[in-house]
Amino acid sequence: MSKEITIPIGPQHPSLKEPGCFTITLDGEKVVKAVVGVGYNHRGLEKACEARTYIQDLYIIERVCGICSHTHSTAFCQAVEELAGVVIPRRAAYIRVIMAELERLHSHLLWLGIAGHEIGFDTLLMYSWRDREKVLDLLAMLGGNRVNYGINTPGGVRRDLEPQMAEDIKTVLDYIEEQNKYYIHLALSEATLAARLGGIGYLSRDDAIKYGSVGPVSRASGIPDDVRVIDQYAAYDDIPFDAITDDHCDVFGRAVVRVLEIMESIKIIRYALDNMPDSELVAKMPRRIPEGEVISRTEAPRGEDIHYIRANGTDKPDRVHVRAPSEANWHAMAHMLEGDYLADVPIIIAAIDPCYSCTDRAIVLQDSDSGKEKIWDWQGLRQYSIDFYKKRGFDASQIKVAEKKIII
């Protein structure tokens, strides 16, 4: 008779270098139930945004995610521009597209390396991260930093793209294209890769719709869900490209979608560089944003990124809400894990390209007795933690803690 055992994977878990707890119930080697526990990385970004001006918020929003910082700031800027009724200059829109696609290049190359690492194919990790460095150098050249580029500003972009930079970008693109062709050849001809990734983390088209998956996860299930196509923003309406889909519905499909998207991004950047119009870089923006509420969305490397802003007529927003793409993809995770083997868990988790700190937005406490929502102040939380540890044989009440001053 089989006996089920439950093991926790995480919060310090073997898959990625961020905290998340997966409670896996196993029957032998098979996962029968998985519970996803995120919420270790709540940083209170949205609340911090309410206390700062729109310009200051831009830099907080940019730090929602370390990898897709540009897409978050684009979504935020678009929302503010929409509220203020400002149309950004065309050249600024093109520069935003170029940055977004370079970001997608480095994000997908990063994912390719991580996926290789998770399945023990570290040679691939070394090569794809070596290539990613070249893209990061380009981003540093354009924006002034490797990850937080700081190129967006409400009303346009902060820096121009010089002709010499365009030449440098094209040189690197040629190199990346050549390398990526080799990776595609590798994905299609390497027997171990297909055997290791094929058939695991299965998410059918119907399930992808049911769980609301976005980005490469939904595109690998055959849904052409790409905000760049369905709700065009910046300069994507001018640029011809295709949304990449695949019908494998598994981790192999997600790898194929990402590798082919790298080719598509290269095509978009080349077109944008050749057809970039000359114009101003920034449109005049008022400091006080008129009253109203707006939703703005962009296609992050991980999927659809949604920003909501409610303005109250001052220079500070009334409410900012960020729905990062990783958050949408977590819902299908338990379904994807169930039925697979324990050894497949890390790569299935890594296949959605999760970003934990992007996910954690708000905590709602529910009373376990009544099931109602509950609000705790600082003292209440402290008392709870003392009682929690007392039950486990550790008395924390004697530890002196400085009075918490909440700075908003």
**How long a stretch of residues is the chain?**
408
Query: Binders of another protein: how many residues, by CB under 8 A?
Result: 34
When asked if residue 153 is in the footprint of another protein (CB under 8 A), the reply is yes
Min CB(160)–another protein separation in Å:
10
Which residue lies nearer to another protein by CB, 160 or 231? 160
Q: At what angle do helices 163-189 and 251-274 cross, to 10 degrees?
A: 160
Judged by CB under 8 A, the residue of 41, 148, 279, 312 near another protein is 148
If binding is defined by CB under 8 A, does position 124 make contact with another protein?
yes
Q: Which of 52, 90, 288, 310 binds another protein (CB under 8 A)?
A: 52
Nearest 5°: phi and psi at 143?
-100, -30
Residue 45: count other Cβ atoms within 10 Å of its Cβ: 18
Compute the least distance from the CB of residue 228 to another protein, in Å.
27
When asked if residue 404 is in the footprint of another protein (CB under 8 A), the reply is no
Looking at 122-130, 229-237, 301-309, 364-372, which segment touches another protein (CB under 8 A)? 122-130
- Per CB under 8 A, 158 contacts another protein: yes
Instruction: Please give the residues from 181 up to 220 whose contact with another protein meets the rule CB under 8 A.
Output: 182, 185-186, 188-192, 194
Minimum distance from residue 55 beta carbon to another protein (Å)? 5
Counting contacts by CB under 8 A, is residue 60 touching another protein?
Answer: yes
Helix axis angle, 122-143 relative to 90-118, nearest 10°? Answer: 160
Contact 176, 267 (CB under 8 A): no
293-318 per-residue burial string, b: 16 or more CB within 10 A, e: under 16? ebebbbbbbbbbbbbbbebeeeebbe
Sorted by sequence, the CB contacts under 8 Å of residue 168 that are 6+ apart come out as 138, 141
Q: Judged by CB under 8 A, does residue 145 bind another protein?
A: yes
User: Is 48:345 a contact under the CB 8 Å cutoff?
Assistant: no
Kindly state the smallest distance separating residue 202's Cβ from another protein, in Å: 20
Q: Which window, 75-83, 98-106, 121-129, 339-347, contacts another protein (CB under 8 A)?
A: 121-129
Q: What is the DSSP string of 208-247?
A: HHHTT--HHHHHTTT----HHHHS--TTTTTS-------S
Instruction: Kindly list the residues in this chain that would bind another protein in the complex (CB under 8 A).
Output: 52-53, 55-60, 62-63, 123-124, 127, 130, 133, 137, 140-141, 144-145, 148, 150, 153, 158-159, 182, 185-186, 188-192, 194
